[in-house]
Structure 1
């Protein structure tokens, strides 16, 4: 079954970055997957500290964690965002780099991050992970979860095909 062209909206450059920021504003926790060639996939929840104006995703992480070790061997990662309250979903494939840049740690630090670092932001284990997006795909409703559920119910009753949502590729070039 071919997808309707009106439901496909590919986003690039500024539109893609705006979409990243919008989704992270609603749901800052994602699943970060490393070691993409080994099954089962190594996936864990991570809090995005920031999406910058270049479209990069920024995280704080411990230098001794599996994810840091895996990224140092293979920088390819996949991020999965699920904002079920608004029916927004995003998958981003990208390349991760790890740094100990003090200015970036200071910029990204939050009180919640203290839970993972015994000595606070001065803990020698604190690192910053930057994920630079290479390609991705998003799914989004046009009207949010409640209206979408009502439209799904109406579609089921009337037998008419649901015309809800938009999806497409997403890339920062």
Structure 2
């Protein structure tokens, strides 16, 4: 069993930023009240100083329509190379701010928005975290693999090298 370390304020924002940056892509789930859940991979553009998570989206997309009907979303990040995982439940807002779009624009975004940062179909989604939980390793990958292998052959180390906890921004 790993350690539990709940983080608040700036520490929580930094942990969200760290895992979101490392993983980059999350499963962005909308329409939470209907099954099956509507999820799709989304690239994180930024985690701001308040812990809000920003994405670019087509203003005519299903996800934007879902958010207009129900602003509750769930984000799942997985960076398996570093054994980092993050689950964020939050409230999403559609933002149409051309200066913020310019600020967050990257050349990769042109893959989805052929007209560049001035494409009229670009919108932003700002996710305000309400509840978040992370799982991380305290050790590097090699140490974690050795501890995992020891556990698999019955040699259980006292500490599995993990740390997890709630994040309150």
- State the TM-score, normalizing by the size of structure 1: 0.92
Correspondence 1:13 to 2:14: no
The match for 1:154 is 150
Cα offset, 1:59, TM superposition: 0.5
- State the TM-score, normalizing by the size of structure 2: 0.95
Q: Deviations over 1:18-72 (max 9, x none)?
A: 1011112211110100000111100000000000011000000000111001001
Instruction: For 1:68 and 1:145, locate their aligned partners in 2 and report how far apart those are by CA, in whole Å.
Output: 37
Q: What is the aligned length?
A: 168
Unaligned 5+ segments in structure 2 are none
Q: Deviations over 1:129-148 (max 9, x none)?
A: 00000011111111133221
Instruction: For 2:158 and 2:24, locate their aligned partners in 1 and report how far apart those are by CA, in whole Å.
Output: 29
Asked if structure 2 preserves the Cα contact closer than 8 Å seen for 1:82 and 1:89, the reply is: yes
Instruction: For 1:165 and 1:10, locate their aligned partners in 2 and report how far apart those are by CA, in whole Å.
Output: 13
Unaligned 5+ segments in structure 1 are none
Instruction: For 1:29 and 1:147, locate their aligned partners in 2 and report how far apart those are by CA, in whole Å.
Output: 26
The correspondence for 2:118, drawn from 91, 108, 122, is: 122
Moved runs in structure 1, 4+ residues, more than 4 A?
none
Correspondence 1:75 to 2:71: yes
Cα offset, 1:161, TM superposition: 4.5
Q: In the TM superposition, what are the counterparts of 1:99-114 in structure 2 within 5 Å?
A: 99-114=95-110
The match for 1:53 is 49
- SS of the aligned residue for 2:81 comes to coil
Cα offset, 1:162, TM superposition: 4.9
Instruction: For 1:144 and 1:79, locate their aligned partners in 2 and report how far apart those are by CA, in whole Å.
Output: 25
